[in-house]
Structure 1
């Protein structure tokens, strides 16, 4: 009697989930069935909804991930949400094993007074909006203020600063939804402050991303010379670390007063900690305290304060994962406790349940980091499988049909893909223009 190939569910179709599906296929020589479930009708996760629209080379990773979904051993089930449409118990009834790769979807908070004022927003919400995420399609951002602050000095912060500083003409060939382009066209933002609590040696952005700010036409970039004073530890880091050395070199090139009379300006400000978002009824300013590193390398305030006259504050201080119902979760580190991807609960390793990606290790690394991360999880999953163990009690098709759920298949997604490509062609706007609203996306998936 021939043993049926293992049937594995992957929850989440971003890079971590699709790299896990790919690893399952490769490590079993195609002797596996993989179902990739996602609550959205679109695959690719942060490649579609997190990578900046003007970073087309990074977005091209989707073409690689597309090949995973085209493998006959892999199926896509869009518009199926864990916790709403299916439960953890459902999944364990339908599959030999489950890999959760739901990423890190929630932004961290600053924890300062005034953070809840209108005009104080998460950079993740802003990114979702300009990237065409359906949950953010009807969000609105007041871009009538001339000055805006972005809190954070990582690549997401740099992306947000760059989108705010660009003209719509420069964004015309991107996939930004039409309604977002209309809002950006009306923007009155002319000065953007990017604020970091620590110094230039501790910044998290990559040199390539940082350098792009200085290449924007019509934009001057300014760094105060005193912000580039490096303490001995930072100076040593700038000498020994190629990444830090590159950042410091670029930033030093922007010190002093910016040359020329350019219509837009970016101020990169280090050694400043937000202490209050001020305003009556909405954001009217951002109060900052000058900081320094103490003897133990921790950030401490100096008692020197200033207030920036900004009308919007976007916080970009990190992502965190959210707990999945019934799955162990560490509320301090915001990850699922695991050993090499095997989920660990109070009584030890939890059988048949695994994690990959940011929910496994936290929001670290680049897109490609997820490939080795997923491969490790899959190796351990396959090592744990027992060929003679109990098989799934029912199929996922039976379950979804019993609940009257209409899923989006990979073929349905290709309909949506084609609709976005056709929309771009009709508008003369590059490779695609995203459909961002749920109803429009569903209609494109199921034409007629």
Structure 2
């Protein structure tokens, strides 16, 4: 007999967990990687910025994992709709929830429900061609855009808004987004953060890229920077990032038509407008013991688009404990939810870390399975899932089907672009 494992989610966390199980049990394990879309790779496909193609090369590693004997992709299957977690636990020796954190956290300020206010998961999914967000209405008719958050996602959104169509046309940005961006009136992008440069979580590469845009200049107010001597207390990588911010503060205004303005020490308090977003009201803050404290001084940032890059939440799954406070499944340190049920990746630890952070995470979950004595129990495993789907007329897709989708995307690419993503699930299914 072999061990059978169901992994829910075909993103980085799911694939690294599968890789860890393969290394632990070799040909003695059968793994089903289940995803609600016919396309795998999760945030590598729908979250990594389209102009960062080198990062997406990690999918070759995931492909090798999926093509290993005993492992298969079970696409277009939604847990909670087509099969329950309870049923999976009856079929497999272990079940791992690697579903990520696909839902935006709300801003929680007056006016955050106005048209023109979107979360970064929706906005990034829109320009990356995620089927859930391909139909998002993005109005770029206003000269200003405000992005709330001081992390890399905020920089990604700013960069996409600021780049020229020529810079983006050779990426895998979705064609529907490229058309909207081509007609964009946005000139001034504002990245809004409650605290200062030393507290920002940008990485060096992402911050540095803003100094090389064709039509936009990155601007930092010199008064927002702490004394340079205080940089010595920072970690080397963070210090280098702050060096980029200092370089932006030291440059005179050039003749580029656009700007990316770092609005440090600004706390969003309201979105205002007549029937749609027209300005973001922010309060000036100061630091007290590392925390942002409001000063009562308010001013308005003119903008027709407000993008909230303030974090994500895991979607609830029927029959699984979920914490509203955590925004994810409550687990122990090893990722255990209940006997035989585990979580890995963002579903386990929340939306933090890099893509590579998910690898040790996946391996630790498999180590927990070993500690728990997970072993072949004679459960039906993949064959049992196939029988259940046959009884329910559920038609799952496989990795060969994904290859057919991928081939069609490559064939339909713009000149110089790696692919043109198919955003309609029905079209994907017809191909798969």
For normalisation by structure 1, the TM-score amounts to 0.93
- Asked if the contact 2:104/2:121 (under 8 Å) is kept, the reply is yes
Structure number with greater CO (CA < 8 Å, separation at least 6) is 2
Q: Give the aligned partner of residue 45 of structure 2.
A: 48
In the TM superposition, 1:233-272 aligns within 5 A as 236=230, 238-255=232-249, 258-272=252-266
Change in Cα spacing, 1:100 to 1:288, as seen in structure 2 (3 Å) is same
Gaps of 5+ in 1: 345-349
- Secondary structure, in 3 states, of the residue corresponding to 1:193? strand
- Secondary structure, in 3 states, of the residue corresponding to 2:63? helix
> Deviations for 1:307-358, whole angstroms, at most 9, x for unmatched residues?
01111111101112122211122221123222243434xxxxx211111101
Choose the corresponding residue for 1:207, options 182, 201, 204. Answer: 204
- Secondary structure, in 3 states, of the residue corresponding to 2:180? helix
- Asked if the contact 1:95/1:392 (under 8 Å) is kept, the reply is yes
- Secondary structure, in 3 states, of the residue corresponding to 1:334? coil
- Secondary structure, in 3 states, of the residue corresponding to 2:28? coil
Q: Give the aligned partner of residue 438 of structure 1.
A: 425
Choose the corresponding residue for 2:157, options 148, 157, 160. Answer: 160
Question: Matches of 1:17 and 1:286 in 2, distance apart?
Answer: 38
- Alpha-carbon distance, 1:239 to partner: 2.6
Q: Does 1:101 align with 2:95?
A: no
- Alpha-carbon distance, 1:259 to partner: 3.1
Q: Give the aligned partner of residue 218 of structure 2.
A: 221
Question: Matches of 2:408 and 2:318 in 1, distance apart?
Answer: 35
Choose the corresponding residue for 2:28, options 27, 31, 42. Answer: 31
- Alpha-carbon distance, 1:389 to partner: 4.3
Question: Paired residues, what number?
Answer: 431
- Alpha-carbon distance, 1:390 to partner: 5.6
- Asked if the contact 2:322/2:329 (under 8 Å) is kept, the reply is yes
Q: Give the aligned partner of residue 366 of structure 2.
A: 378
Q: Does 1:353 align with 2:347?
A: no
Q: Give the aligned partner of residue 401 of structure 2.
A: 412
- Secondary structure, in 3 states, of the residue corresponding to 1:254? helix
Choose the corresponding residue for 2:54, options 54, 57, 78. Answer: 57
Q: Does 1:285 align with 2:256?
A: no
- Asked if the contact 1:278/1:284 (under 8 Å) is kept, the reply is yes
Q: Give the aligned partner of residue 347 of structure 1.
A: none
- Secondary structure, in 3 states, of the residue corresponding to 1:339? coil
- Alpha-carbon distance, 1:257 to partner: 6.0
In the TM superposition, 1:112-151 aligns within 5 A as 112-151=109-148
Question: Matches of 2:156 and 2:118 in 1, distance apart?
Answer: 15
Question: Matches of 2:374 and 2:425 in 1, distance apart?
Answer: 41
- Asked if the contact 1:150/1:193 (under 8 Å) is kept, the reply is yes
Question: Matches of 1:64 and 1:75 in 2, distance apart?
Answer: 15
- Alpha-carbon distance, 1:205 to partner: 1.0
Query: Which shows bigger deviation, 367-376 or 89-98?
Result: 89-98
Question: Matches of 1:442 and 1:218 in 2, distance apart?
Answer: 40
> Deviations for 1:88-121, whole angstroms, at most 9, x for unmatched residues?
1211122111011011111112211111011111
- Asked if the contact 2:4/2:376 (under 8 Å) is kept, the reply is no
> Deviations for 1:182-217, whole angstroms, at most 9, x for unmatched residues?
111111111101111100001011011110011111
- Secondary structure, in 3 states, of the residue corresponding to 1:275? strand
- Secondary structure, in 3 states, of the residue corresponding to 1:204? coil
Q: CA RMSD in A?
A: 1.6
Question: Matches of 2:186 and 2:374 in 1, distance apart?
Answer: 60
- Asked if the contact 1:92/1:392 (under 8 Å) is kept, the reply is no
Choose the corresponding residue for 1:306, options 299, 306, 326. Answer: 299
Q: Does 1:319 align with 2:312?
A: yes
Q: Give the aligned partner of residue 90 of structure 1.
A: 87
- Asked if the contact 1:99/1:355 (under 8 Å) is kept, the reply is yes
- Secondary structure, in 3 states, of the residue corresponding to 2:26? coil
- Asked if the contact 1:96/1:392 (under 8 Å) is kept, the reply is no
